[in-house]
Amino acid sequence: MNSRAMTIFPQTPSAASASQSPCEVLLESRSTLNTDPQAQLLRDSQDIWFRFCVANLHEVDLATEAVQETAVRVLQNLRAFEDRSTFRTWSLGIALNVCREIRRRQARYLKDASLARPATSAEEPPSQACQAEQIQQVQAFLKSLPPRQREVVTLRYFEGLSVEQSATVMKCAAGTVKATLSQAISNLRKRWERSS
């Protein structure tokens, strides 16, 4: 995964008070369509969306595209946000749908969905090479999971959502999230044991 900072939306001073979250300011001003709180909300959410999209799409360029599409859809559907969940959960649901659409599109255009990655430099120090190898191994294990299992692992462990929040994002029952997570952990454990 690329460790560079993700900045899709330019930084501008916020008019929000320090005691209010960007989401609260935006929700107060969404009837007037004030763009400053919207821009602040997008800036505050982009890193969460980017991490989630990279974990699901495995490519920085596709993840960047997904984040931009997520931002567009969030702004288009902001009036429909009903506070039945947190803004983060709601927006991650949008990001999940965008990732699914991109995966379907990629599958249509590519015969082999796994693209060769450029080789790492042979001049890396041993500790960095070992760490890079471990990261690649974890990414390969995650990539080997079925999409739904990969999504639930990403939501629960990388984004820190609860079972209920994950269920809201995935539009399924909490029991389904638990069962899918259990299957994913079992599959990851089997892969790990085979590789050791």
Question: If the chain, 196 residues long, is cut into consecutive pieces of 10 residues, what is the mean pLDDT of each piece?
Answer: 47 46 55 69 93 91 94 92 89 94 80 42 58 76 90 88 92 94 91 82
Residues 6+ apart with CB under 8 A from 46: 6, 7, 8, 9, 67, 71
Q: How far apart are CA 64 and CA 106, in angstroms?
A: 15
CA distance 86 to 26: 13
Q: What is the pLDDT of residue 4?
A: 44
Q: What is the pLDDT of residue 194?
A: 86
CATH of 122-196, one of 1.10.10.10, 3.40.50.10320, 1.20.1440.230, 3.30.450.20: 1.10.10.10
pTM of the full structure = 0.56
Q: Quick one: fold of 20-113?
A: Rna Polymerase Sigma Factor; Chain: A (1.10.1740)
What does each C-alpha distance from 155 to 78, 118, 161, 177, 178 come to in angstroms?
A: 22, 28, 6, 10, 12
